[in-house]
Homo-oligomer: A and B are copies of this chain.
Amino acid sequence: MTGTLPAVPISGTTRLYVVLGDPVAQVQSPALLNPIFAKLDLDAVLVPVHAKPECLEQVVAGLQCIGNLDGIFATVPHKAALAGLADRAGRMVEITGSANALRREADGSWYAENFDGTGFVAGLTEAGHDPKARRVALVGAGGAGSAIAAALLAAGADELSVCDPDTAKLNRLRSRLDAHWPGRTHTSAEPHLDGADIVVNATPLGLAPEDPLPFRPARVPAGGVVADIIMKPRETRLLREAAALGHPVHHGIHMLGGQLDSYRDFFGLG
């Protein structure tokens, strides 16, 4: 597979970016960002870093001491923990309690932001599914789910239904969302899809072929958009079954695509 991927020239002067995950083999960001570095003529490379949750703090502490490392991205399951490893954080991190990007500031401190939600909404809108004034059901209140919830409300979603089996986590998220967008979020332990215009899977279910479905596509109202945040495989079982039922589907990769401009701004690239 390596022959088909964009190639990066590396020397002693190359600046480093990493993406942390567990697992990490599925991450798409090196294949997406490295060509952008090359196109911008930046001497920089993004490499995957596999960190088990029990190792995360030690790995990040080490990375933050590396002089030529300028940025840290995180994917499942590290986004919440990463927020706690920055010195300062942006608004989406404060609302969601999770971060997917850390940058080194001029004073050497680390600043966290979360682009998952805004990236997802940018991709959704670009694909013709603007969530403004729509009813959205969101399955999963983890790192990505929390960020997407906040971004959907910020983008004007009329009513947001969030479900997650972890009630305590769900209640904490609702409190934070209510503080900014009062009364627009409803929560439940099980998916509540009635009347939804857009249904989003924000759980990791679908990464493995044997995973159960995050929700039953047959319960999505007719014409409802079914969106996934899983990037690999591109065609999850959820999206395949939803498409077979005639629903418009929205692929996970758009979430990352929608974030690329934000990353350029955040890291001051190009």
Contacts and interface: CB of A to CB of B under 8 A. Distances in A.
A65 interface: yes
A3 interface: yes
B48 A47 contact: no
Nearest to A231: B12
B3 A46 contact: no
A48 B8 contact: no
A52 B67 contact: yes
A27 interface: yes
For this complex, into which size category does the number of interface residues on chain A fall?
35 or more
A34 B12 contact: no
Nearest to A22: B67
A45 interface: yes
Contact of A45 (B1, B10, B52, B68): B10
Interface stretch (A55-63, A163-171, A196-204): A55-63
A48 B68 contact: yes
Interface string A13-43: 1101001011011111011001000100101
A12 B25 contact: yes
A2 B13 CA distance: 9
Contacts of A232: 12
A50 interface: yes
A8 B30 CA distance: 11
Contacts of A31: 10-11
A2 B68 contact: no
Contact of A12 (B16, B24, B58, B68): B24
Contact of A7 (B1, B8, B43, B66): B8
Nearest to A38: B2
A212 interface: no
Given A58-B65, A62-B60, A12 B41 contact: no
Interface of A: 1-14, 16, 19, 21-22, 24-28, 30-31, 34, 38, 41, 43, 45-52, 55, 58-63, 65-69, 232
25 contacts: A1-B43, A2-B14, A2-B38, A2-B43, A7-B8, A8-B8, A8-B9, A10-B46, A10-B48, A11-B30, A12-B19, A12-B24, A12-B28, A22-B67, A47-B47, A48-B68, A49-B68, A50-B67, A50-B69, A51-B66, A58-B65, A59-B62, A59-B65, A62-B63, A62-B65
